[in-house]
Structure 1
Amino acid sequence: MPFPHPVPEALAHLAGEWRVTRAVRDLADGSEGHFSGTTLFSPLPAPDEGGLLHQESGVFTWRGTARPAERTLRFLPGNTPGTARVEFADGRFFHDLDLRSGHHTTDHPCSADLYRGEFEVDDADHWRTRWRVRGPAKDLLLVTDYVRTRVTARPAPSTSPGSPWP
């Protein structure tokens, strides 16, 4: 099915393991890099039942130098059923996520920089993100493609606002 592919429950859709490829381009100087690895969305333990732990690991190559890279995020039920609240590993808010239409745009201000994210779902096993980063010292485009490799236990659908934060 062509884009957009509606996703009634973001967390249930994301659960599992994904092959990840990311192209990174510095629009100011033309430098390019890439990341290749995996992302595992697995159920969070109590007290965050219903959420997912996002663990990404792989190799990031920039200007010819390859280095191991990883990041951890927390995906929790959003305030609206079917949506998610994305947090950094330390619990700070990152962005909201609503894939019910198959497409979502969000912003994340970070100091003097602005991260604008666009999420697109092609089908049950393919989705992508585009982050445009602009600031006094940054002008980047990051495009990440996800391809499902396996499904793991999925969280129960959210039936009420799951976020204890305002």
Structure 2
Amino acid sequence: MDEFWPVSDVLAYLAGSWRVERSVRDLADGGTGVFTGTTDFRPLGDGGLLHHETGTFTWRGVPRPAERTLRFLPGPAPGTADVRFADGRPFHDLDLTTGRHTADHPCSADLYRGEFTVRDADRWRTVWRVGGPAKDLLLTTDYARVR
């Protein structure tokens, strides 16, 4: 994809419900998995959004329920976000004013590098490459707005 869709306010863009499809590939041993579910971005009292993802993660053919919660808070510049884990620890920044953003998150000795791309008003994607001594993964997630 060569064209990106600029987003002037990431929190306003993300608000609402999204269908989620994520592929997970272990680059070290070839294992694969798929997550399917929904992500809801609901308002928090501080102007941010509570991100709650629920669905089914199938890893190496074994399905199980999965969920995660993040907090998307207003970022340092207008229209940006400061993404935090549910317990408040920092995760990454997010600035989609150009329609594309790259963020890093060190986790122990591993590095998570995420690329965020906006396709249009109702579709966006994240690609996380996780590398280090403990992990060698590629996670690609497509989001489609629920209307």
TM-score (norm 1): 0.86
Structure 1 stretches of 5 or more lacking a match? 151-166
Give the partner amino acid of 1:104.
Answer: H
Q: Going by fraction, where is strand more abundant, 1 or 2? A: 2
Q: Any residues of structure 2 matched to 1:139-158 within 5 Å, and which?
A: 139-150=136-147
> Paired residue for 2:53?
56
In the alignment, the residues of structure 2 paired with residue 134 and residue 92 of structure 1 have an alpha-carbon distance, to the nearest angstrom, of 21
Equivalent residue for 2:100, pick from 100, 103, 113: 103
Contact 1:108 1:115 in 2 (8 A): yes
**Alignment RMSD (CA, Å):** 0.8
Q: Deviations over 1:37-73 (max 9, x none)?
A: 000000013xx2x100000000000011100000000
| Structure ranking higher on relative contact order (CA contacts 8 Å, 6+ apart) | 1
In the alignment, the residues of structure 2 paired with residue 140 and residue 126 of structure 1 have an alpha-carbon distance, to the nearest angstrom, of 23
Q: Secondary structure at the match of 1:18?
A: strand
The answer to whether 1:20 aligns with 2:17 is: no
Q: Any residues of structure 2 matched to 1:1-166 within 5 Å, and which?
A: 3-45=3-45, 48=46, 50-150=47-147
Contact 1:3 1:120 in 2 (8 A): no
In the alignment, the residues of structure 2 paired with residue 80 and residue 43 of structure 1 have an alpha-carbon distance, to the nearest angstrom, of 19
Structure 2 stretches of 5 or more lacking a match? none
Q: Deviations over 1:136-161 (max 9, x none)?
A: 021000000000003xxxxxxxxxxx
Shift of 1:135: 1.1
Q: Deviations over 1:101-124 (max 9, x none)?
A: 000001000001100000000000
In the alignment, the residues of structure 2 paired with residue 64 and residue 127 of structure 1 have an alpha-carbon distance, to the nearest angstrom, of 27
Q: Secondary structure at the match of 2:146?
A: strand
Contact 1:52 1:76 in 2 (8 A): yes
